[in-house]
Structure 1
Amino acid sequence: MFNLFHLSLKLNGFPIEKAQADFEKIVAVSEVDYPRHLEQKKKDIVEFHFKNNAFYKEFIGGKTFDKWNDLPVLTKQDLQKPLKERLSNGFSEKTVFVNKTSGSSGTPFVFAKDKDAHAMTWASIIYRFGWYDIDFNTSYQARFYGIPLDFIGYRKERLKDFLSKRYRFPIFDLSDKVLDGILKNFKTKKFDYINGYTSSIVLFGKYLQARNIILTDVCPTLKVCMVTSEMLFEEDKMLLEKHLGVPVVNEYGASELDLIAFQNTKGEWQVNSETLFVEILDENNRPVSNGVEGKIVITSLYNKAHPFIRYEIGDVGILDEKSTAKHPILKKLIGRTSDVAILPSGKKSPGLTFYYVTKSIIEDDGNVKEFIIRQTKLDTFEIDYVSSVALTSEQTIAIEKAIASYLEPGLHFTYNRKEVLKRTARGKLKQFDSLL
């Protein structure tokens, strides 16, 4: 089989075969030797940036640190300066992979990876997808993603899709008419797997449910579905597995880093310990015990072009008590630190709590397709939703009652029924948004 995907990486200067060989060596390091291997990699990357990166040297105050935990934590705000000021010696914007974060944390910035590190990212993705018998050179992907709408950006993405053996469904309009067209594609194309934003795939799952369709009945080649970028709730996962007819795998990643955690075949969210070092820290940037929630802070062990050392990604999570250096397990991803609701009593609550409580009430009958919640004042929230018929007063009363018991009473809600919900430029649906 002609390896078009590998070829396109090589033509762009990403040494994928070397990266895969290096990655296999890391995977082969034993459980016993792994802590020592990891300590060495952490030390190597800090020393490299201390010697070769003026931005990082200045950031840590120009001094070396004996203890890892004394190294300062890097935030997205620290990185909001021109890229050329942040690149290591020997790298220029022309010789690295340059991209932009999605800005879903509210703080977008441009970042770089050297070509070896970017190839290593692909080696890590190829390895994990291989757990589900997916081969990037031969497997055909149904892709639920955003796409640039300007002519050049659009054509570029379509070419990338062709080279990467994938067919993209743009997700800015997912009305029933558009979903009819998507279903037709599944009837005529031999897709091996689905990959894309959680909210869009869930919407497609609900469309199938309403028509009592199991997708593998019309597309029997389908093996698995990978969802990314937005929260996957347990009941949505069950709905998808039933109506897609395949296992649904939850991935958690960041464009500036790599896949951070990927559900393994045992159903655990296995953290990528090969190219990353993931820590959970408290408010004072001290490590917490496994099983305790805190800020997710990540070190990219191989990116020499740009430092991501103890980088606070903006998410909150918990590592499982049974985690080891070689096999850390993400027990729970709680959501973004920026998506917090501050209530009149002074209580802080993850915005997804609102979303979750509301979801449990208004999606019972399948009327509401999707919704978002916005906090406009301390005690005031707006709910935008798409549905076949408007919410009844009984439903809105039930929502407010449930939120009063879960969070606190005395909060005010307005409900706006919409034809379609506004997504970000990349097609993500921001489930909770605080305007405070």
Structure 2
Amino acid sequence: MIRLFDFSLQLNGFPLKKAKSELEKIIHLSEEEFITFLENKKKEIVDFHLNHNFFYKDLVGDKTDENWENLPILNKQNLQKPLEERLSKGYSKKNIYLNKTSGSSGTPFVFAKDKYSHALTWTSIIMRFGWFGIDFNKSYQARFYGIPLDFIGYQKERFKDFLTNRFRFPVFDLSDAVLEKFLQKFKTKKFEYINGYTSSIVLFAKFLQQKNIILNEVCPTLKACFVTSEMLFESDKKLLEKQFGIPIIREYGASELDLIAFENPEGKWQVNSETLFVEILDENNNPVPHGTEGKIVITSLFNKANPFIRYEIGDIGILDEKSTPQKPILKKLIGRTNDVAILPSGKKSPGLTFYYVTKSIIEDDGNVKEFIIKQNKIDTFEIEYISEKELVSEQIQKIKEAIDLYLEPNLNFTFTRKIVLERTNRGKLKQFQSYL
């Protein structure tokens, strides 16, 4: 069988073989060797960006002592500059992996990864899914995700789905009639695993509960379900286990970084220590003891194209007391919850749908800094945003067209430009809030 998944990555210039062999080496280091590896990698990536990245050198300023604790904390606002100003010397749009963050934190930006660091990301993902008997080259995936609805974007994603052996269930409309169609697909296709947005998968499980159906009885090939992008509450996890009849695995990641934590077969949320260095810090940026909550700050140990050094991701978490440098365990993730929007037609759309809508206004010029969407009535929404320049009527028209396409027509949207946006009591910007 052609290993299409591996082949498609290699075809795009991602050195998968080299990354696999590096990851193997890292995993088999002894505890002492690992600590040496980590210290070397931290020093190496900081030195690289101080010497090759004007943006990072500027951020660090005149601090000549390279004491880790004295390095600045990077946040999403720092990164809202045109990409050209943030790329390291030797990197251009031709030799990088380029993407946008989801803006689920309300602070979107464009980022780059060098091809080797992106190959390592994939290698690390492949390894973790492998813990549960999933092989990306063979296992068939039921994917609960969004999809661009413009013709070219749509075809591109569908082609990617073909290459990566997955069938996509778009999550913009999760009404019962649509969920019934989803169920029919599970009866006819040999899915091995489910992967996608937590809220959408939970809605599907609630639908199955109403119908008194256990999913792996209608689709016996199913092995596991991986939920991502939003919080999974304990009650929802129990519901998923009951209605699907398979293990439910929590994944926590960020597109600009990597997989951050992944539930291991022992049910512990194991932090990715091979390609990332994760710190939990207090308000004054001092490390907190294990078992104490603080803000999650992450360093990407391999990305040379863009500096992500001591990068504050916008989430709050707690590392388990039993964590070691080689095997940190995330005890609790606090933050990143998304609501579901209920529309006049009865259609239910997850809050993340708005990411696809607002993507149409997030340009690389960094004009729109942050946005949140509030649902005040069943047909009335308010978009509050912070930007250097007011949105012009063409941009607003573009958003309205995207809303018609992704949600439904005849919804009322108002756009309010703000100086500051309200945050949760944890300082988290909740991108979508329903006041119904």
What range is the shorter-chain TM-score in? Answer: 0.7 to 0.9
Tell me if 1:238 matches 2:201. no
Superposition misfits of 4+ residues, deviation over 4 angstroms: 369-372, 381-386
Distance 1:55 1:301, change over 3 A: same
**8 A Cα contact 1:57 1:63, kept in partner:** no
The residue number in structure 1 matching 2:361 is none
Cα distance in structure 2, aligned partners of 1:197 and 1:151:
23
Alignment of 1:187-198 (within 5 A): 187-198=187-198
Report deviation, 1:104. 1.0
Cα distance in structure 1, aligned partners of 2:182 and 2:189:
11
**8 A Cα contact 1:371 1:385, kept in partner:** no
1:40-67 C-alpha deviation (Å, 9 max, x unpaired): 1100100010111111011100443331
Cα distance in structure 1, aligned partners of 2:350 and 2:133:
34
Alignment of 1:324-403 (within 5 A): 324-336=324-336
Cα distance in structure 1, aligned partners of 2:375 and 2:182:
31
The residue number in structure 1 matching 2:75 is 75
Cα distance in structure 1, aligned partners of 2:168 and 2:432:
26
Tell me if 1:161 matches 2:161. yes
Tell me if 1:87 matches 2:87. yes
Alignment of 1:172-187 (within 5 A): 172-187=172-187
Cα distance in structure 2, aligned partners of 1:259 and 1:154:
25
1:375-394 C-alpha deviation (Å, 9 max, x unpaired): xxxxxx978799xxxxxxxx
**8 A Cα contact 1:268 1:329, kept in partner:** yes
Alignment of 1:35-434 (within 5 A): 35-336=35-336, 433=433
How many residue pairs match? The answer is 362
1:120-179 C-alpha deviation (Å, 9 max, x unpaired): 000010010010000010000000000001000000000000000000000100111111
1:240-266 C-alpha deviation (Å, 9 max, x unpaired): 011111000000000000000000011
Q: Which amino acid aligns with 1:112?
A: A
The residue number in structure 2 matching 1:361 is none
**8 A Cα contact 2:273 2:326, kept in partner:** yes
Partner-residue secondary structure (3-state), 2:280: strand
Partner-residue secondary structure (3-state), 2:209: helix
Report deviation, 1:370. 9.0
RMSD after superposition = 2.6
The residue number in structure 2 matching 1:397 is none
Partner-residue secondary structure (3-state), 2:31: coil
**8 A Cα contact 1:318 1:333, kept in partner:** yes
**8 A Cα contact 2:205 2:240, kept in partner:** yes
**8 A Cα contact 2:5 2:164, kept in partner:** yes
Gaps of 5+ in 1: 337-350, 356-368, 373-380, 387-418, 423-429
Tell me if 1:9 matches 2:9. yes
Cα distance in structure 1, aligned partners of 2:142 and 2:289:
40
Distance 1:300 1:126, change over 3 A: same
1:212-246 C-alpha deviation (Å, 9 max, x unpaired): 00011110000000000001000100110111110
The residue number in structure 2 matching 1:343 is none
> Which one is further off, 31-40 or 222-231?
31-40
What is the percentage of aligned positions where both structures have the same residue? 68
Gaps of 5+ in 2: 340-347, 352-373, 380-406, 412-429
Cα distance in structure 2, aligned partners of 1:48 and 1:148:
36
**8 A Cα contact 2:172 2:349, kept in partner:** no
Q: Which amino acid aligns with 1:49?
A: H
1:303-342 C-alpha deviation (Å, 9 max, x unpaired): 0111000000000111111100000000100115xxxxxx
Cα distance in structure 1, aligned partners of 2:315 and 2:43:
25
Partner-residue secondary structure (3-state), 1:181: helix
The residue number in structure 2 matching 1:23 is 23
Cα distance in structure 1, aligned partners of 2:127 and 2:117:
15
Partner-residue secondary structure (3-state), 1:8: helix
Partner-residue secondary structure (3-state), 2:24: helix
Distance 1:431 1:59, change over 3 A: closer
Cα distance in structure 1, aligned partners of 2:180 and 2:434:
34
